[in-house]
Amino acid sequence: MRAMSETQVWLLRHGASTFNAQHRCQGCCDEPELTPQGREGACLSGERLSSEGIEAVITSPLRRASDTAEHLLKTIGAQGCKIRFETDARLREIELYQWEGLPLEEIPRRFPEQYSDWRLRPGEFRMELANNEVLYPVRSLYDRVRLFWNYLLTAYAGKSILLVSHGGTIRALIATALGLGAVHFHSFQQSNCGISRLRFPSDSSQARLDLLNDTAHLGERLPKLKEGRCGVRLLLMPVSDTNHADIGHLAAALEGMVIDNFLVVGSTARNMASQLFPSPFDSCRVVSEATADTVDDQVLHCDSGDQLRHVAILGPLAVLRRTLRQQLGISDAAAESLDLRPLEITSVHRPGNEAPPVLQTVNMLKSVPSLVGYRP
């Protein structure tokens, strides 16, 4: 339950668009529109959020976002909820004028130096406009979302708000709320109609991220991988003293997923792992919390070739936060701001090929439905 003085901010990326389906760069271009899948995702998101006590919806003016908000509001309105609605231009997508409309696969070929900066040094990524003006798109986006946070946390203090925006903008909103700079622009994943949530306690200036890129309402156990089905996906599971029924629920959610390696820290984690993974876990090596760092290279950095491998990491919250800090290169304060919950899964995708690790989801698997024919 939300504390009375706490500000709760939900973030939703727009539904799948025509440019998403065509694998074209969107940026601030307003040509893309929602596909049938995108409209369905918006309605499913409305059903998912209808009982969350949202008091206002603020959307980007770009039509793929505003149309998502309208479909969502119709679904929530069918539940008898009355919600304030407004549009804010600061929530529009990052400006990528030279790339907008181009096929994504063409951009690295036509703009190799720009693309390298975009992926590896986003704060240094620049574009030269027709009037010889130089634009730093990621820096400009971060400046814009900081101004938006200043407005929102004053105008809607103590409220529950939904922002409907874009992948790049939501990643910048999350990063700035956690005190992270442009270097972490690619450290978070936000899928179409993925739901995230930030909490701002009234007695603290530090945000808490307790939900990232939840796509369970779209029929997914984990969000689809942004970088393709290769590399290593780390599945972080905080341990606690729980009853067998609770562990059984998580085991059912993980059924059918092949776990290629384990890092199990401590006796409580060993007990939980033996119930979650009884067959492949028999030969797993268990380590103490004090020596957990010494096996990182052996377990976390396993070679995957061109295949996707899953590594399950079970242990105390402190160990998992340390793992996130090391993998993502984030500060201690940012790691402490990630509210990982027992019996829910937080995942990090390591794509390889020099691409930086990505925090794919936080606390997603608690209420995942049983899926027929699921493939992770």
| Active site amino acids | 14, 93
User: In 196-344, where does DSSP find H-type helix?
Assistant: 244-254, 267-276, 296-299, 317-328, 332-336
Q: Distances from the Cα of 19 to the Cαs of 26, 85, 126, in angstroms?
A: 7, 26, 23
- In this structure, are residues 198 and 176 in contact, taking their beta carbons and an 8 Å threshold? no
Among the listed residues 67, 70, 131, the one whose alpha carbon sits nearest the alpha carbon of residue 97: 131
- In this structure, are residues 93 and 173 in contact, taking their beta carbons and an 8 Å threshold? no
Q: Distances from the Cα of 229 to the Cαs of 20, 243, 274, 328, 360, in angstroms?
A: 18, 34, 27, 20, 13
Give me the amino acid identity at 304: S
**E-strand stretches of 78-194:** 84-87, 127-128, 134-135, 160-165
- In this structure, are residues 25 and 114 in contact, taking their beta carbons and an 8 Å threshold? no
How far is it, in rounded angstroms, from Cα 213 to Cα 222? 9
Give me the amino acid identity at 305: G
- In this structure, are residues 344 and 276 in contact, taking their beta carbons and an 8 Å threshold? no
Q: How many other CB atoms sit within 10 Å of the CB of residue 87?
A: 16
